[in-house]
Amino acid sequence: MGLLWYHHLAHTNTNVTLLASNQEQLSASELKSAKYQFTPYQQLHAEIHPLTYSQSADINAADIIILCLKSFHIADAIQQMAQDINPHCLVILAHNGMGPFAEVVNLLPSQQVILTMLTTHGCLRNMPLAITHTGLGQSDIGLLAGELSSNQQTQLTNQLNNALAQVNFHQDIVKKQWLKLAINCVINPITAINNIDNGEINNQKFTRQINLILTEITAVSHTEGIELAFTDLQKMVAKVAQATARNCSSMRSDVLGGRATEIDFINGYIHRIGKKNNVATPENTRLWQQVLDLKPVH
């Protein structure tokens, strides 16, 4: 997803660089001659474009930093670059699940503006530095810490919209996070455990399990001051499963690829918040443990 945003921002004449986890292993010539492949939505042929990697000076000069990472990498990434982030930079966290913000907020100055971005764009990583835009969606952003004036909110939204529409700014982004979390708590573990496409979630055999998951999430969210309606969540899960019926969920992809999943920040997050607030979450806890125990399917 990071490369998707890099591509679209670069094509709006924005001064943008990409910070990659492996770039320290690259030689000076490799850094200078780097390229990436991008296949636009519903196109067959890949485009090749030059890639500019981030250096410390780029981070220090950045007005906006977008972290498109797995949930469990967010805090480490912030810790590594914290000394280079200027206090006026807008830090945008883009990840699945919930939880990293609690760590991030303690790693940055108290006045640092921290936002979150939730996106429904589809993006497939074919190989390193080669992606396909597989689905058009939208992005929701909102403030988690710090202060932004109305003009700054509008300016940020317009800049991101000009790159990759549709982007909307929300005053109550935390409720949006919970809504997305509820969907992920259903679709991700069930598709990963059963090795099925998203659409199969709507099979009647999963109805009881889905209802248990959502009942627990509704109860836990209420203890955090977030009012979620059970029937609304049911409809949202069914709608997303239908809209992405042939898609392979990110968690299922991780399991199939032998990679770590974000389950600790999805159903695991519900378990932890439930435990903190004395709300039982047996189904979410069971799914959390079940995914942790999964072995790659060959």
Q: Supply the residues annotated as catalytic.
A: 180
DSSP string over 106-156: TTS-TT-EEEEEEE--EEEEEETTEEEEEE---EEEEEEES---HHHHHHH
Cβ atoms 95, 261 nearer than 8 A: no
Cβ atoms 101, 75 nearer than 8 A: no
Cβ atoms 94, 114 nearer than 8 A: no
Cβ atoms 263, 251 nearer than 8 A: yes
Q: Which residue, among 170, 172, 164, 199, has the nearest Cα to 41 in the 3D structure?
A: 164
Residue type (1 letter), 191: T
Token pair in block for residue 23 = 């770039």
Token pair in block for residue 61 = 């000069």
Cβ atoms < 10 Å from Cβ of 263: 29
Residue type (1 letter), 190: I
Phi, psi values for residue 178, rounded to 5°: -65, -40
| Residue whose token pair is 């189904």 | 283
